[in-house]
Amino acid sequence: MAEPTAVTAGVETLLEAGNPPLPLLRVMPGIPIDDAYEQVSILLGYIKHLIREGDAEDDHKLLGAADYLSALAKALMNDIEIARNRRH
């Protein structure tokens, strides 16, 4: 019998809002891990571009966008690792 496809756990959060701060966004559960990895790869490419351009142009908006995308990529990677550890 084939092993089921590994999917995101859906527990990692990112970006906080309010007082006291509460998580604003969460990784959705049930996304195939291969698809989530693909999105992380795409995000990392965008982050790299934004950082290079932001540094070259001293543009804090580009660097801020890179920071937000970094938080998203980190949450996705953490969630993938949680899902993988649950399987073993």
Q: Residues with Cβ < 8 Å from 40, sequence gap 6 or more?
A: 73, 76, 77, 80
Residue 78 has pLDDT above 90, yes or no: yes
pLDDT at 1: 61
pLDDT tens for 28-50 read 999 999 999 999 999 999 999 99
pLDDT at 20: 96
Q: Where are the domains of the chain?
A: 13-87
In angstroms, how far is CA 39 from the centroid of its own chain? 8
